[in-house]
Amino acid sequence: MLFGTKINMHLVLEYLAFFVAFRYYVVLRKRSNDPISSNNRLSIIIGAIFGALFFSRLVAFLENPPLHWEQGWIALLNNKTIMGGLFGGLLGVELAKRKIGEKQSSGDLFTLPIILGIIIGRVGCFLAGVKEFTYGRETTSFFGMDLGDGLPRHPIALYEIVFLVFVVVLIRQLQKQRNCFESGTCFKLFMIAYFTFRFGIEFLKPNTFFFMGLSSIQYLCLICLAYYYKTIQKGIAHAYQKLHLL
């Protein structure tokens, strides 16, 4: 409640996440020597927006098709998921870059703003409790919290925030060694780490729609990891080389 008016904090923080993330991106671009022109950057952002809008709705629908179909078109348009948005945005960017002939990697500049936006959004998800499908299964562990229905549940939104803070620290360390890694590595690292984390954390959610034991989000995670299989192979080879040198 604010001045006697009921405020939907989840919605407020969702919009705040978009605003803060974009402003952070603008600041980072001003501070960097971006090899991509402003016009091409705009085309890339537009591609990301349209890809994210489409896939965020599509993947959300696939989480439970019978239920969402019964809710009608308005519900279909309102339901969305960050996982579909991220992967759809990635595909939108790649299509836009191919269309305009841009060869430079564009992801690193977006990485930290995206993570910041997700963290802000997840605070809203946590405050929404069981009103949003971002809560976990019932648990008897000391991590369990009452999210609004009187049952101790895994606070998945908090788990995700902690994980993303760890990813930020890792990326900041990586950025200090920029001469050792090719452009685009930070974004790829984020996508691989986040989609791997989400694949695992889905097992803690009370999902109701499965195909062969996995949710639609988990299938999307596997698709994304397959998309980055070359990067994963390089990472494993690099880690093995480091260990061998020790």
pTM exceeds 0.85 for this model: yes
Nearest to 83 by CA among 232, 211, 229, 221: 221
Domain count across the chain: 2
Are both 28 and 60 inside the same structural domain? no
CA distance 185 to 42: 21
DSSP annotation of 104: S
What's the start-to-end Cα distance of the chain, in Å?
58
Asked if the model's pLDDT at residue 69 lies above 70, the reply is no
Residue 124 contacts residue 82 (beta carbons within 8 Å): no
User: Distances in Å between the alpha carbon of 19 and those of 51, 54, 108, 132?
Assistant: 19, 20, 19, 21
| Domain-located, residue 60 | yes
Residue 133 contacts residue 201 (beta carbons within 8 Å): no
Are both 80 and 180 inside the same structural domain? no
| Domain-located, residue 145 | yes
Residue 186 exposed, middle or buried by CB count within 10 Å (0-12, 13-18, 19+): buried
Question: H/E element holding 153?
Answer: strand 152-153
Q: What is the pLDDT of residue 246?
A: 57
The residues, any chain, with a CB within 8 Å of residue 211's CB and separated by 6 or more, are: 219
Are both 49 and 158 inside the same structural domain? no
CA distance 89 to 206: 27
Structural domain span for residue 51 = 36-103
The β-bridge partners of 138 are: 153
pLDDT digits (tens, 9 = 90+) for 144-203: 998 888 899 999 999 999 999 999 999 988 887 766 567 788 899 999 999 999 999 999
pLDDT digits (tens, 9 = 90+) for 135-145: 889 998 889 99
